[in-house]
């Protein structure tokens, strides 16, 4: 066991006092009583362990230990033949809402089944005395269901009514209470009918739908909370004198040096300072193939170090790490209010007054026709129950939750749930070039032909920018950088600074040079007081499978175009390599926005894909937007989707899921409308009892949930195999940049 792993166990343990600490481990391999005895006896052989208790039902081991040395609990269990890991605090906490729903469901299920058995005897022609006795027993059995299970709906209805509004639980509560009250009245007066079976069955089936909805949402959220648990609780910090100290993750600051052993997870974003290893980056990219890292490589929090020790330099705090940001993005997936969800919300808001009015008019109509108030109330109750809009309320959100989950499993983060609806309707895909179609790692190819003083000054200017071209200049310069003053960056143009009063600029030729000198020059240049000092030439590699991804998007009927701020020869070469006919070069960020607005004015719906360095305004202006996971923070924040896999086939995946989501939502709305169109007239005509109404309404909700589950049944492996096609030999584009 590594030093870091020992400290993880100590940090995860609880202080019991008197030098005694307690650690809880999850051991999935516990199967029987024999396993319990083997584990408890084996752990007690350790000198530090004072007590070991195994819980077979939860498959957990609770170990009490003492001493200055942390016991090798995980290794001890491994020697016994059991794989173990620390029990996560998040997993230890139970969901109180789910617990409440399951208990309420159990009570409702027990009472409804027993009352249904009694009702069978009544329906079979029991005599008046037996019928009265069975009705009385049913009333007693229904009370716990009404009081305990029904409170979930009653509290919601009362909360809405006390604020002067209604919700879908109001008519449900009214129908349940009316049916129960009328059944009690008929029981007391030895009436022939009672609807205790309808009351309890309605609550039971409603709770089934509500519990299913909650479980599906929690399953999606479990993936998000699982991301947070990818980061360890602490890290081994290496001091300047070489001393090592294990610190909690909250104390890790940028600039600290972190020792990472094989088998440890990266605690925070950082840069490899020394060592080489293979990393399992599945949590970041969705790819199972290990990634080789060496000094200078960037690593993200949560990835697993597989083969060798590394020394990292932290570049962000835990709360600012890539993993934390992905967790926040995924958690926000349900916040978007898509058009379909707004329609469902408005329908649910209109539902209560409309259905109450219809039920009241039905009561008056039956009173006028039949003159029997019991029958009139029974039909009105059936109308209230059968038209419950649960199915319509679930139609859109349940599908969106499943869509976000499916995309997350394939390495696409959904930042805005409404983006799924917009993505399904696009007809144009606009790509930025640098960092999107290319890997964003350009290389300065003519560094050897530049004057050393010019390359040094260019490097000094480039240090004030995070643009890939600037990083390439810094990487290519072996010379010490001179001191600059008044350094500033103009987005999309370049970097400016002063040396001995002279103004030096590194950036676009039309910005860095005077008008007369810039006439015949394109690309990135170094200038002094507007005069050309050096022209810089770069080359960059295309993303793997970029051409294949564009071909597949075009096959779906989408128009493809490139909007780039790079020089014309480079953009033209990239477009030719990818088979894209429409492209625009030398665009400023504002000009990209103008192009997108012009397309929108023509009625086109554009998906903008950019890395965010100069694309944040365009990402915000587009109909819908996506950014790669290695994009700048501002780009990830502006985009509706973030794809973590380096392959651009993630765009096709997201588009397919979005279109399938829209299809399923439309189907759910159609099913809900069709159900109400058929059920409501039948209920008004008196052909439906409250019990049948409860069964029909619950069935409509289950059908909608089942239809949404078809999205999760999508062929994930087939999609991922498309995303993991072996990379072709990287193409490059080369010109004056």
Domain extents in the chain: 3-86, 98-223, 233-322, 336-411+661-714, 412-437+543-644, 441-540
Q: Does the CA dihedral 6-7-11-14 come out positive or negative?
A: positive
* Among candidate residues 400, 397, 21, 420, the one with its CA nearest the CA of residue 210: 397
Whether the Cβ atoms of residue 167 and residue 156 lie closer than 8 Å to each other: yes
CB-neighbour burial class of residue 149 (10 A; exposed 0-12, middle 13-18, buried 19+): buried
Q: Does the CA dihedral 699-701-704-706 come out positive or negative?
A: negative
- What pLDDT, on a 0 to 100 scale, did the predictor assign at position 612? 61
Q: What is the 3-state secondary structure (H, E, C) of 331-385?
A: HHHHCCCCHHHHHHHHHHHHHHHHHHHHHHHHHHHHHHHCCCHHHHHHHHHHHHH
As its CATH architecture, domain 3-86 has 2-Layer Sandwich (3.30)
- Residue reference for tokens 């305990």: 148
Topology annotation, domain 233-322: 2.70.150
How wide is the angle at C-alpha 563 spanned by C-alphas 560 and 568, nearest 5°?
Answer: 110
Topology annotation, domain 412-437+543-644: Rossmann fold (3.40.50)
Instruction: Report how far Cα 683 is from the mean position of its chain's Cα atoms.
Output: 42
Residue 20 DSSP symbol: E
* Non-local CB neighbours of 165 within 8 Å, separated by 6+ positions: 349
CA gap 89, 11 in Å, rounded: 12
Tokens of 153: 């709906």
Tokens of 295: 């000094």
> What backbone torsions phi and psi does residue 463 show, to the nearest 5 degrees?
-65, -15
Tokens of 213: 């909805």
> What backbone torsions phi and psi does residue 271 show, to the nearest 5 degrees?
-125, 135
* Among candidate residues 619, 597, 606, 601, the one with its CA nearest the CA of residue 425: 606
> What backbone torsions phi and psi does residue 93 show, to the nearest 5 degrees?
-75, 130
- What pLDDT, on a 0 to 100 scale, did the predictor assign at position 91? 42
Secondary structure E strands in 555-595 = 559-563, 582-584
- What pLDDT, on a 0 to 100 scale, did the predictor assign at position 391? 65
CATH superfamily of 441-540: Calcium-transporting ATPase, cytoplasmic domain N (3.40.1110.10)
- Residue reference for tokens 């492996």: 717
Long-range contacts of residues 30-37, Cβ cutoff 8 Å, at least 24 apart:
30/54, 30/56, 30/59, 30/61, 30/82, 32/56, 35/82
Whether the Cβ atoms of residue 149 and residue 207 lie closer than 8 Å to each other: yes
User: Which residues are annotated as catalytic?
Assistant: 432
Q: Does the CA dihedral 432-438-441-447 come out positive or negative?
A: negative
CA gap 270, 317 in Å, rounded: 10
- What pLDDT, on a 0 to 100 scale, did the predictor assign at position 736? 32
Which residues, listed in sequence order, are joined to residue 227 by a DSSP beta bridge?
none
Low-confidence ranges of the chain (pLDDT < 50): 1-4, 90-93, 220, 223, 286, 331-338, 715-737
Tokens of 730: 């990287």
User: Which element (helix H / strand E) includes 112?
Assistant: helix 96-123
Residue 265 DSSP symbol: B
Instruction: Report how far Cα 514 is from the mean position of its chain's Cα atoms.
Output: 49
Whether the Cβ atoms of residue 338 and residue 400 lie closer than 8 Å to each other: yes
């Amino acid at each position: 066991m590594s030093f870091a792993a020992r400290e993880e166990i100590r940090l995860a343990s609880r202080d019991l006092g008197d030098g005694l600490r307690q650690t809880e481990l999850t051991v999935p391999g516990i199967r029987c009583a024999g396993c319990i005895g083997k584990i408890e006896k084996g752990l007690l052989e350790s000198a530090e362990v004072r007590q070991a208790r195994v819980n077979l039902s939860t498959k957990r081991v609770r170990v009490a230990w003492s001493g200055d040395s942390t016991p090798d609990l995980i290794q001890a269990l491994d020697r016994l033949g059991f794989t173990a890991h620390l029990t996560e605090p998040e997993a230890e906490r139970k969901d109180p809402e789910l617990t409440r729903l399951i208990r309420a469901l159990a009570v409702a299920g027990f009472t409804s089944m027993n009352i249904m058995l009694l009702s069978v005897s009544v329906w079979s022609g029991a005599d008046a005395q037996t019928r009265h006795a069975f009705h009385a027993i049913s009333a007693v059995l229904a009370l716990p269901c009404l009081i305990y299970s029904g409170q979930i709906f009653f509290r919601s209805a009362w909360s809405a009514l006390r604020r002067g509004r209604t919700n879908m639980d109001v008519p449900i509560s009214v129908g349940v209470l009316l049916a129960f009250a009328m059944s009690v009245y008929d029981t007391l007066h030895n009436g022939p009918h009672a609807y205790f079976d309808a009351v309890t069955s309605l609550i039971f089936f409603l709770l089934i739908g509500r519990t299913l909805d909650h479980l599906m949402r929690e399953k999606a959220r479990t993936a998000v909370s699982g991301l947070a648990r990818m980061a360890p609780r602490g890290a081994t910090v290496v001091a300047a004198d070489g001393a090592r100290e294990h610190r909690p993750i909250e104390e890790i600051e940028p600039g600290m040096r972190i020792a990472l052993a094989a088998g440890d997870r990266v605690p925070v974003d950082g840069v490899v300072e020394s060592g080489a290893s293979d990393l399992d980056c599945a949590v970041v990219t969705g790819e199972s193939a290990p990634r080789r890292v060496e000094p200078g490589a960037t690593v993200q929090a949560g990835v697993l170090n597989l083969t060798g020790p590394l020394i990292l330099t932290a570049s962000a705090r835990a709360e600012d790490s890539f993993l934390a940001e992905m967790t926040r993005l995924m958690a926000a997936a349900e916040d978007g209010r898509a058009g379909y969800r707004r329609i469902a919300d408005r329908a649910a808001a209109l539902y209560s007054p409309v259905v109450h009015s219809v039920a009241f008019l039905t009561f008056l109509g039956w009173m006028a026709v039949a003159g029997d108030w019991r029958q009139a109330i029974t039909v009105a109750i059936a109308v209230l129950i059968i038209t419950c809009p649960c199915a319509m309320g679930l139609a859109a959100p349940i599908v969106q939750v499943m869509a976000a989950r499916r995309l997350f499993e394939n390495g696409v983060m959904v930042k805005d749930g409404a983006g799924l609806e917009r993505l399904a309707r696009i007809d144009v895909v606009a790509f930025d070039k640098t960092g999107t179609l290319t890997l964003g790692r350009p290389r300065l190819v003519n560094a050897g032909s530049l004057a050393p003083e010019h390359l040094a000054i260019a490097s000094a200017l480039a240090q004030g920018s995070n643009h890939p071209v600037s990083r390439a200049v810094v990487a290519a310069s072996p010379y010490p950088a001179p001191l600059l003053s008044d350094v500033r960056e103009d987005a999309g143009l370049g970097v400016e600074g002063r040396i001995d009063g002279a103004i030096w600029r590194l950036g676009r030729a039309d910005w860095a040079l005077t008008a007369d000198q810039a006439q015949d020059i394109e690309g990135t240049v170094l200038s002094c007081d507007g005069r050309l000092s050096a022209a810089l030439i770069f080359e960059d590699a295309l993303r793997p499978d970029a051409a294949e991804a564009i071909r597949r998007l075009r096959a779906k009927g989408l128009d493809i175009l490139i909007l780039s701020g790079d020089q014309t020869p480079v953009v033209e070469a990239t477009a030719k390599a990818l088979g894209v006919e429409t492209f625009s070069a030398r665009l400023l960020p504002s000009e990209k926005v103008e192009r997108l607005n012009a397309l929108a004015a023509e009625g086109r719906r554009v998906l903008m894909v950019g890395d965010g360095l100069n694309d944040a305004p365009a990402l915000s202006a587009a109909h819908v937007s996506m950014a790669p996971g290695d994009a700048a923070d501002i780009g990830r924040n502006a985009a509706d989707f973030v794809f973590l896999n380096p392959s651009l086939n993630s765009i096709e995946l997201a588009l397919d899921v979005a279109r399938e989501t829209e299809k399923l939502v439309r189907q759910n709305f159609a099913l809900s409308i069709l159900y109400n169109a058929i059920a409501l007239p039948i209920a008004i005509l008196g052909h439906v009892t409250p019990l049948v109404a409860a069964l029909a309404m619950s069935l409509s909700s289950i059908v909608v949930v089942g239809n949404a589950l078809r999205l999760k049944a999508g062929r994930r492996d087939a999609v991922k195999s498309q995303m993991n096609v072996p990379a072709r030999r990287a193409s490059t584009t080369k010109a004056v940049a």
